[in-house]
Chains A and B, each alone.
Chain A
Amino acid sequence: MKRHLLDAADLDRADATLVLDTAAQIDQALAGREVKKLPTLRGRTVVNLFYEDSTRTRISFELAAKRLSADVINFSAKGSSVSKGESLKDTALTLEAMGSDAIVVRHGASGAPHRLAHWVRGSVVNAGDGTHEHPTQALLDAYTIRHRLGRLDGVRVVIVGDVLHSRVARSNVWLLSTLGAEVTLVAPPTLLPVGVGSWPVEVSYDLDAVLPKADAVMMLRVQAERMNASFFPSAREYSRRYGLDAHRMAALSGEAIVMHPGPMNRGMEIAADVADSVRSTIVEQVGNGVSVRMAVLYLLLGGASS
């Protein structure tokens, strides 16, 4: 493993597989244990530096670090020196001076973790940067697919929704194609980036046409602020054309799964009965997130002794 985890695009097949295999080993090691804790990162300090609200990702990283016995500091941009105008660089250097070994950063600006990695000696983990990437989300999604379907090679994954603004979609495109999956993006043309043609994916505007062949369907959250910016005429029209309801779900083949990175807009991109169906892996994804993030922190900080 490299020193940082900044983008999924940067992960080669061997490193990505190592993360997934390590997560599986961690799951096995902890299965059935009363005390779900490993001593691996005792004495190491992990800082969660969150410039955006993200309860689930922050808690997931916090739990992952604590289960590896690391000391965890949560640094939220609200109510901190950041709101007094401190720069990202000064914040990073301050945290490092306090002895942080890894900084897990969530930031609204694409590339902020890359800048951070220039300024600190410790490891940087990208926990979501702007509209760029969210690599641990893609790793946990890949882990979930592999766990449910038993493989990634040749698996047909359909990613539906606001690809243009989605860091989850970007990370999944790179990681899943690295791991041999066949990715199809489905969205209204307004929500696909100019330049999507150079990505290793198929593109479709027609959800109904691609569903029968899908092994996994990943629904992306539609942000409220897109509603009034002419990306699509109305929430209802979006939902009719690109939402996954029970009727559409019936077109899926036997063991196909339905995924969502959360938080969901029930009734918008995903219907409630779909989210709660047996095909849904949404709750499983959350649990897998902790294991995958443990694997990432272990591999970055614990040394790649495996």
Chain B
Amino acid sequence: MTTLIIKGARVLGGQPADLLLQDGRIAAVGERLSATGADVLDAGGLVALPGLVDLHTHLREPGREDAETVETGSRAAALGGYTAVHAMANTDPVADTAGVVEQVWRLGQQAGLVDVVPVGAVTVGLKGERLAELGAMADSAARVRVFSDDGHCVADPALMRRALEYVKAFDGVVAQHAEEPRLTVGAQMNEGDLSARLGLTGWPAAAEEAVIARDVLLAEHVGARLHVCHVSTAGSVEILRWAKSRGVRVTAEVTPHHLLLTEACAGSYDPVFKVNPPLRTDADVAAVRSGVADGTIDAVATDHAPHAVEDKESEWAQARPGMLGLEQALPVVVETLVEPGLLDWAGVADRMSVRPAAIGRLTGHGRPLVPGEPANLLLLDPAARAVVDPAALASRSRNSPYAGRELPGRVVATFLRGTATVLDGKAQK
């Protein structure tokens, strides 16, 4: 294994320092480091952050390899600065057995660009009727700790209660897609002034908030861990703030697109902006940003959702919901949180690496950049700005909502246990 000295990187945006990577670990951090036979990487002006951890990625394999594979999604993740991604369970077949989660885990190992951590389905076939074999998935080689029916809400309150209780046996967490299905039949976009005008069926904020309110009460009652996926409304942030003040063991994530974009994008009827939960209002965007800033929202998670061209190049109502996120997540965070002064680089590390790793119980990720720790890190050029070109993305799909938009920050290099997965902005395999 190579030895590498990263010269002059600003760890968490601090003073320039050198990092010595050796045998997959950070061997030393300091000034004017040297080592015989070491390669040297000039990182002047670059910010070093712990490798990012995504709690919410759709890799589409098995089943929709035309939209994404574990390998192409891993490459997109590495280019985005990630060293670990949680692969959601709504594949075909659904990841609701030890066999499927082990398959996804193995494909991730083979790709070798990030640690692919499978999420297990809460219920068989995501149908919301009976629990999948959660224990078998937890005990499998994939060591599943995060369980989610994402794409569907575990709407049955009794079943949700049982799931929350059951995963306590192996320190698991249920990641809830909070959407009361009876309130969102046929829903296409945020319900409000604009949906009324566009004639698109509304997805009311209350459909998300009602489920979050219910679930934090259930989590409190049974003393279980709850994670809330893709929080999108100001009301949800308020409920989470209240629950945390009561000591409920709840964590939450927000997506890059809910930090940056609003429902106004739907005015074009271009389904690249169709997503579930939908893009919300300016007030909601402000609320989720401040939720991340004050820690009410623990993590930024991509909900990277690749879709084939034909699933997006259609009428709005016919299109599949979801948008790409892995390669632009960090630039969006820089744009929406760092540059406005809501979050410093330590905060970015916390919300995009430390806390997501803790929620997923990943021991080798989200660690401080100090000697002895695994060399999972990224180097970011915060001064660079680039216009997003979907055709240039590593993802197999092109449904980026940021097409043509200039965003700050360029991931120059990513290291997974000391090995460069990205160098000079290019994937190494």
Listed in ascending order, the chain A residues whose CB lies under 8 Å from chain B are 9, 87-89, 107-112, 114-115, 129-133, 167, 170, 193-199
Contacts and interface: CB of A to CB of B under 8 A. Distances in A.
Interface in B313-348: 313-318
Interface of B: 188, 191-202, 204, 268-270, 310, 313-318
A109 B313 contact: no
Contact of B269 (A114, A167, A196): A114
B197 A115 contact: no
Contact of B196 (A88, A89, A129, A193): A193
A196 B196 contact: yes
A115 B267 CA distance: 11
Contact of B314 (A87, A132, A170): A87
A177 to B, nearest CB: 13
B274 to A, nearest CB: 11
A195 B314 contact: no
A20 to B, nearest CB: 23
A193 B197 CA distance: 9
A115 B315 contact: yes
Classify the secondary structure of B's interface with A.
loop
Contacts of B195: 193-195
B197 A88 contact: no
A130 B317 contact: yes
Contact of B199 (A87, A88, A130, A198): A130
A108 B200 CA distance: 11
A230 B339 CA distance: 48
A87 B269 contact: no
Contacts of A196: 196
Contacts of A89: 313-314
A184 B279 CA distance: 31
Contacts of B192: 194-195
A87 B268 contact: no
A45 to B, nearest CB: 24
A269 B39 CA distance: 81
A112 B315 contact: yes
Nearest to A229: B185
Contacts of A88: 314-315
B315 A199 contact: no
A195 B200 CA distance: 12
A283 to B, nearest CB: 28
Given A109-B318, A110-B269, A115-B269, A195 B196 contact: yes
Contacts of B194: 195
Contacts of A167: 199
Nearest to B194: A195
Contacts of B315: 88, 107, 109, 111-112, 115
Nearest to A195: B196
Given A107-B315, A109-B315, A115-B269, A194 B191 contact: yes
B188 to A, nearest CB: 8
A110 B318 CA distance: 10
B199 A133 contact: yes
Given A110-B199, A110-B317, A195 B193 contact: yes
